[in-house]
Chain A
Amino acid sequence: DGGITQSPKYLFRKEGQNVTLSCEQNLNHDAMYWYRQDPGQGLRLIYYSQIVNDFQKGDIAEGYSVSREKKESFPLTVTSAQKNPTAFYLCASSRMNQPQHFGDGTRLSIL
């Protein structure tokens, strides 16, 4: 089945630690995105990539980093510089000029 796989489903971060969230898609989509979802707020864009080896900052990129070495993969690293990392993180992908489709998210909490 084609889809977007995010792992792990739950993740815990200690103070001062970097953690990496995985996102893989087998839909042959060109574009991939990372969002953060907090209670009572809409999805906020962290980073997006429309082509391999290229990505752009979204509205809340500070404290996050990404890479796009393969078309299928777009991992997100939450660095220790992100002071409020507790949230539900969603990865999405799309063909160019088409709506985005989402994975089932990773919930990140602080220990």
Chain B
Amino acid sequence: QKEVEQDPGPLSVPEGAIVSLNCTYSNSAFQYFMWYRQYSRKGPELLMYTYSSGNKEDGRFTAQVDKSSKYISLFIRDSQPSDSATYLCAMSVTTDSWGKLQFGAGTQVVVTP
């Protein structure tokens, strides 16, 4: 079983809808959680970075962490065609272990005009 599970999609939504993405994990020691966006043939771009449980909002993006359920989410409001990409979750036990980031396999999102 993988440490981090993520539905590969594709997830297709109409423009303006809310995109809901999630990851589940098995290691209860994870404390730092990240979401990356990756366009085709490009490197991942850091979108959100959160510590422990709770919510974090940045513009149209909201990240949620529920450590009791070992579940993290990313919501994209008012989705645009430019949001079409693969979204990767990543997590780490401590800030000393950045070399030990665990990634999900990524969810492909398609926003249709």
Which residue numbers of A lie inside 8 Å of B, CB to CB?
4, 6, 31, 33, 40-43, 45, 48, 50, 56, 58, 90, 92, 94, 96-105, 107
Contact = CB atoms under 8 A, between A and B. Distances in A.
Max chain B Cβ within 10 angstroms of own Cβ: one of A6, A33, A92, A96: A92
Interface residues of B, number: 27
A21 to B, nearest CB: 13
Given A48-B99, A107-B41, 16 more contacts: A31-B99, A33-B98, A42-B6, A42-B102, A42-B103, A50-B99, A92-B43, A94-B98, A97-B95, A97-B98, A98-B95, A99-B32, A99-B98, A101-B46, A103-B43, A105-B41
Interface secondary structure of B, over-half rule: mixed
B104 A42 contact: yes
A97 B101 CA distance: 12
A56 to B, nearest CB: 7
B44 A31 contact: no
A101 to B, nearest CB: 6
Contacts of B106: 42
Interface of B: 2, 4, 6, 8, 32, 34, 36, 41-46, 49, 88, 90, 95-96, 98-106
A41 B3 CA distance: 12
A12 B62 CA distance: 40
- Which 9 residue pairs across A and B have the least CB separation, nearest first? A102-B43, A42-B103, A97-B95, A48-B99, A43-B103, A104-B43, A42-B105, A102-B44, A99-B49
Nearest to A55: B99
Contacts of A101: 46
Nearest to A44: B103
A79 B88 CA distance: 29
14 contacts: A6-B43, A40-B105, A41-B105, A45-B99, A45-B100, A48-B98, A56-B99, A98-B98, A99-B46, A99-B98, A102-B45, A105-B42, A105-B43, A107-B41
